[in-house]
Structure 1
Amino acid sequence: MSRLDETGAGLPDTFGRVAKDLRVSLTDRCNLRCTYCMPAEGLDWLPRPEMLTDDELVRVVDIFTQLGVHSVRLTGGEPLLRRGLPDIVRRFAELEHAPRIAMTTNGIGLDRLAGPLADAGLERINVSLDTIDPERFKELTRRDRFADVERGIKAAQDAGLKPVKINAVAMHDPHGKDNPAELLQWCLDRGLELRFIEQMPLDAGHTWERQKMFTGRELQELLGERFSLSPMPDEARGSAPAELFLVDGGPATVGLIASVTAPFCAACDRVRLTADGQVRNCLFARDENDLRGPLRAGATDEELADVIRANMLAKRRGHGIGEPDFKQPDRPMSAIGG
């Protein structure tokens, strides 16, 4: 038991959930301009002095691990843009209560960094990829980088990162050329685990409309026209966000993350740290708790832990999408961290 968690209670909220999974945003910057995330001209990035330094990141993650967090996922923006990333991963892996370390990335630059990251202690990786059609990719991301992503995925597999998962935001293709079943077959052919995600109201322009969203059930029906999908036992899911289905009897699976239409809030064990040092107990949290200010003012580890505990105790029962009082977060996904 750590010195900061003498009771062994970890990071509970008031609904019986305990946070064990920390999402760490390393930067709000990104080298893509996905249409459902940010405008073509980009956003106003955080000034570097406002971002946590490497030493500050390591100290805060150390506190979280002492409070019971055992899994850390590195996100962005695009985490591969963070300078010295392999060294940050190494320092996380050398903590006394070393967490399992994963990362979500768009894959650009992963061909160079997959090996060093694996050597440093990165275990798992998710690559965001919504289409395998290069022209559709260019349309969605406003960048012609599909070949770079392919190279990054291959490099991750060659480096021994396992599993390599593909995250795909489910969207209707107005041109009718993009079929999710083709993406699933592409992943099956390459030994990749595919997870489809319902589009959530986290865009910078606040233009998301529920009635235009491609739902998990619609996806299941569409995939079912080509593949036989059979549900995995509920106990196999645990706190994972994806509902898993065996594809053609298995062992391959496909996951549907229906965050909007079938939220998994009741089993949520996540907490988030933004690149500028704010603690968020939910992607859609209305409030944040500042760690950067107290940290730089000389706060002790116990004082910082108290800030984290207070944030978790304020966690709501659910994200509230669809409720009359729901408000989209002021920060877009790129500034919160996935």
Structure 2
Amino acid sequence: MALQFEDNFQRKFYYLRLSLTDVCNFKCTYCLPDGYQAGKERPCFLSLPEIRRVVQAFALCGTTKVRLTGGEPSLRRDFTEIIRQVAATPGIEKVAMTTNGFRMEKSVAQWQQAGLTNINVSLDSLDPRMFHQITGENKFDQVMRGIERALEVGFTQVKVNAVLLKGQNDHQLPAFLEWIKHRPVQLRFIELMQTGAMDHYFDRYHSSGQVLCRALQEQGWQRKVRASNDGPAKVFWHPDYQGEIGLIMPYEDGFCETCNRLRVSATGKLHLCLFGESGVDLRDLLQQDNQQAALMARIQSGLGQKASGHFLHQGDTGATPHLASIGG
């Protein structure tokens, strides 16, 4: 390993979130309520060789986990080949994806064969009508079949993401707990995060994850130890449940102290924080194999600008217009 990516606060980065596209076919109220807007010129997303080069650079500098995100990553026609290429990169131990689940039933076995090791599925409600209301798509049954299919083909655990929304799904904890009692599902409640385009929505629907945290602890749920390349969730387990609960609470004090992940957008920009600056352009160094040393140096130089934390408490959401823009 040539060097270890590290910032000025001695945080090391084992985890890359790589966006493959900002296109999504769902219209979730907290992200793209009006659907994907392409603009005048459709962006040119990273090619397979560019993806190979950026993943190799991160792997040489200590990254062991890559998460393929979007938008909806499975909208890429070459998605399976991207999985295969990332999984073949020396040093990469986990290849994960985050998906809305609409293609899982059909394709998850193929993805696993290509090298996918971990899968996260968005499922904001167990009520089909509320699911439709939140996502803008009447695909609840299709997504649920996809989750079951992932377990059938051998994924030992599926992570399910639910954005916590006041008055819409924040009362559904008992139903979710019943659902995971006999399933190897880690259900992750994610606090709604403010973005530039969603100020009023945030004011109306934000609910603190601390309420759920207290409820879980009162019911005997216990914290798990966090691995070096795990995401930001606080994970709880209970002896009576096969499934687990994760809580992602970005407004909690100290949330950024254990940050271990960096983001690269679908157009090749390094983002030091989900709620940060406009990004460090890497694409000019992704055109040839002989630019790897310069690429690693630029990433490490960029880390010198990484702040100790986000500024969400001050209402500063940075340059992020919506979560699909750099992979959430």
Query: What is the TM-score when the length of structure 1 is the normalising length?
Result: 0.88
Identity, in percent, stands at 34
Q: Residue 335 of structure 1 aligns with which residue?
A: 325
Q: 1:42 to 1:89 in 2, by over 3 A?
A: closer
Indicate whether 1:96 and 2:81 are aligned: no
Query: Secondary structure at 2:250's aligned position in 1?
Result: coil
Q: 1:203 to 1:247 in 2, by over 3 A?
A: farther
Counterpart selection for 1:187 from 180, 183, 202: 180
Give the C-alpha shift of residue 153 in structure 1. Answer: 0.6
Q: Residue 319 of structure 1 aligns with which residue?
A: 310
Q: 1:263 to 1:329 in 2, by over 3 A?
A: farther
Q: Is the 8 A contact 1:265 1:318 kept in 2?
A: yes
Query: How far, CA to CA, are the matches of 1:109 and 1:45 in structure 2?
Result: 26
Q: 1:301 to 1:29 in 2, by over 3 A?
A: same
Give the C-alpha shift of residue 287 in structure 1. Answer: 3.4
Q: 1:292 to 1:46 in 2, by over 3 A?
A: farther
Give the C-alpha shift of residue 160 in structure 1. Answer: 1.3
Q: Which amino acid aligns with 1:193?
A: Q
Query: RMSD of aligned C-alpha atoms?
Result: 2.5
Matches for 1:1-338 after TM superposition, within 5 Å = 1=1, 5=2, 8=3, 10-44=4-38, 50-173=44-167, 179-202=172-195, 204-209=197-202, 212-221=205-214, 228-232=219-223, 235-236=225-226, 240-247=231-238, 252-296=243-287, 300-323=291-314, 326-338=316-328
Query: Secondary structure at 2:207's aligned position in 1?
Result: coil
Q: Is the 8 A contact 1:230 1:245 kept in 2?
A: yes
Q: 1:333 to 1:46 in 2, by over 3 A?
A: farther
Moved more, 238-247 or 83-92: 238-247
Query: How far, CA to CA, are the matches of 1:266 and 1:84 in structure 2?
Result: 36
Query: How far, CA to CA, are the matches of 1:215 and 1:205 in structure 2?
Result: 17
Unaligned runs of 5+ in 1: none
Moved more, 288-297 or 42-51: 42-51
Q: Is the 8 A contact 1:232 1:245 kept in 2?
A: yes
- Superposed CA deviations along residues 192-224 of structure 1, whole A, max 9, x for unmatched, are 111111111136444343574211122234557
Give the C-alpha shift of residue 40 in structure 1. Answer: 2.3
Unaligned runs of 5+ in 2: none
Moved more, 310-319 or 44-53: 44-53
- Superposed CA deviations along residues 86-126 of structure 1, whole A, max 9, x for unmatched, are 11111111123334101111110111110111001100101
Q: 1:59 to 1:172 in 2, by over 3 A?
A: same
Size of the alignment, in residue pairs?
Answer: 327
Query: How far, CA to CA, are the matches of 2:137 and 2:196 in structure 1?
Result: 18
Q: 1:196 to 1:41 in 2, by over 3 A?
A: closer
Query: Secondary structure at 1:13's aligned position in 2?
Result: coil
Moved more, 69-78 or 328-337: 328-337
